[in-house]
A and B are shown apart, each in its own frame.
Chain A
Amino acid sequence: MLITCPYCGPRDLAEFSYQGDANRTRPDPASTDPEAWNAYVYDRANTAGDHREYWQHSGGCRVHLAVTRNTLTHEIKDVALARDGAVKKPSARRKTGAKA
């Protein structure tokens, strides 16, 4: 598996650490609803197919990424910076002519 880091280009899986399922939303920290917290901590959609997940380029530039990867084929469909969510591409944010 190769992951294309927006800053470093295509890099081997060994440089990345998996940070888990990105489909979960942390409940409001002020919330005291145990069901919501239990669901957040324990329950997973465990998707077969396109899966949004977090990776960190821990052996490289250390950026956190939101990756869309097919869990049946390992095909990587999209890589975005985690802080932008999986929607905005970092390339769209970069100024024209700026070096990657």
Chain B
Amino acid sequence: MAEYSFLSLLKNAWNGNRDWKPAWRKPDPRPAYDVVIIGGGGHGLSTAYYLAKEHGIANVAVLEKGYLGSGNIGRNTTMIRSNYLLPANQRFYEHSMKLWESLSHDLNYNVMFSQRGCLNLAHSPAQLDDFARRGNAMRHAGIDAELMSREQIRRFVPALDIDFGGRFPVVGGLIQRRAGTARHDAVAWGYARAADRRGVDIIENCEVTGFLRDADRIVGVATTRGEIRAGKVAVAVAGSTGRVMKLAGVDRLPIESHVLQAFVSEGIKPFMDTVVTFGAGHLYVTQSDKGGMVFGGDIDGYNTYAQRGNLPIVEDVMSEMCAMFPGLTRVRLLRSWGGIMDMSMDGSPIITTGPLPGMYLNCGWCYGGFKATPASGWCFAWTIARDEPHPINAPFALDRFHRGILIDEKGQGATPKLH
């Protein structure tokens, strides 16, 4: 497969685009691999890519239950940021941000990463003080952050009703200008193509139905396409973590699966060139390159594995959207959908060796998994290759809950409703 370049685009355009080859192969599973990764989403694919690129382990299979990109990598609101307060989160998400900044070149695939900024709105002086504290912590860690005044915000996002109808007047905000969005499907396709080119087998429509064991050790997986043996088995299945880990006999984990709904409007002319979040409720919105307003709010709030939500959250999100942008009230909603979130009990992820010998676990992404895609794969690949976590993901251990060293970004205690 040729590099994508201006020259190859020109050549193929000249030939009527007849000579393009598929971006990745559709191989049948081989009987054994060095590493089998369960889950062909963003995190599984990026893990495979970094295993091959950084650690020279290319005898790898990625098993995907459905088609590539059918899970949360294609269901998110595409936002990327590293505006965290706690040092462990700052190091991890800033590492991710730096990988994003060179990702299109690295993968030779345009993921349309657009650093259009992410603005958090503050609606009370106390909230603005809190944002100032977080902004200062970010700058202290070398991450960009700027406090914006009400006047600056009025000029920066002219479509915003700065008073929210008089109910939640904006007093200021915190912006990370390096934050932004990326084309989520392209991230899946780019990682898949780049991993495939380094020899990784991406096996779609292959559901794991059980684990192969040698005494205590996990030595492979049983799948709908036969048994596959593996030196190491890595699990990166986000919302399905509970189901897959039960197959391995792990009955309890510090996560719950919840549904998060997302929405896109019909395409409209350029309306807003940044990401804005509503601080008095919970809403985040951006405009896609096609013109649709892409937005979401809270999780539905009850345990579920169904990839669809209920009406109360739809009403809630729409009313917040109308309060923020009265100019959008007559714009029609095009689509809504749900994704299953692996909500951890402190709002932070888990990237770890174990919990069984021969197994590696990547989960607990809550609803912030998309922005973490590069760093999650990078750290997970390190953890798998070297049998120990990288210093960046060492704090994201599974046993942190029982040891009392939580990474509780919100300072709110044990609940599966954080992110």
Contacts and interface: CB of A to CB of B under 8 A. Distances in A.
User: What size tier do the contact residues of chain B reach?
Assistant: 20 to 34
Contact of A21 (B254, B256, B306, B311): B256
Interface in A56-74: 69, 71-74
A8 interface: no
Contact of A72 (B252, B305, B311, B416): B305
30 contacts: A12-B312, A13-B311, A13-B312, A14-B315, A18-B302, A21-B256, A21-B303, A34-B402, A35-B402, A42-B345, A42-B414, A43-B254, A44-B242, A44-B252, A44-B253, A44-B256, A46-B241, A46-B242, A46-B256, A46-B303, A47-B242, A48-B243, A48-B257, A48-B305, A51-B303, A53-B302, A53-B303, A71-B305, A72-B304, A74-B310
B306 A38 contact: no
B252 A45 contact: yes
A87 interface: no
Q: Describe B's contact surface by its main secondary structure.
A: mixed
B310 A44 contact: no
A17 to B, nearest CB: 8
A74 B340 CA distance: 14
A39 B414 CA distance: 12
A71 to B, nearest CB: 5
Contacts of B416: 44
A73 B255 CA distance: 20
A31 B414 CA distance: 20
Interface string B193-218: 00000000000000000000000000
Contacts of A39: 252, 402
B142 interface: no
Contacts of B246: 48
Contacts of A12: 311-312
A98 interface: no
Contacts of A51: 303
A99 to B, nearest CB: 29
A71 B257 contact: yes
A76 B399 CA distance: 34
Please provide the 9 A-B residue pairs with the shortest distance between their CB atoms, ordered closest to farther. Answer: A46-B242, A43-B252, A14-B312, A42-B401, A42-B254, A38-B402, A18-B302, A48-B305, A48-B243
Contacts of A71: 257, 303-306
Interface of B: 241-243, 246, 251-257, 301-306, 310-312, 315, 345, 401-402, 414, 416
Q: How large is the interface on A (under 10, 10 to 19, 20 to 34, 35 or more residues)?
A: 20 to 34
A74 B304 contact: yes
Contacts of A48: 242-243, 246, 257, 305
A21 B304 CA distance: 11
Given A43-B254, A48-B305, 9 more contacts: A13-B311, A13-B312, A18-B302, A21-B303, A38-B401, A42-B414, A44-B254, A46-B257, A72-B305
Nearest to A35: B402
A73 B310 CA distance: 12
A54 B302 CA distance: 10
A43 B305 CA distance: 18
A41 B241 CA distance: 19
A69 B246 CA distance: 19
A92 interface: no
B127 to A, nearest CB: 25
A71 B254 CA distance: 18
Nearest to A49: B305
A21 B402 CA distance: 19
A100 interface: no
A90 B182 CA distance: 53
A18 B303 CA distance: 9
Nearest to A46: B242
Contacts of A38: 401-402
Contact of A73 (B242, B302, B306, B402): B306
Given A13-B311, A13-B312, A46-B256, A41 B414 contact: yes
A43 to B, nearest CB: 4
Residue of A41, A53, A69 with most partner-chain B CB within 10 A: A41
A72 B253 contact: no
A30 interface: no
Nearest to A75: B306
Contacts of A72: 304-306
Contacts of B402: 34-35, 38-39, 42
Given A13-B312, A38-B401, A44 B302 contact: no
A86 B291 CA distance: 49
B102 to A, nearest CB: 36
Given A18-B302, A53-B302, A71-B305, A46 B255 contact: yes
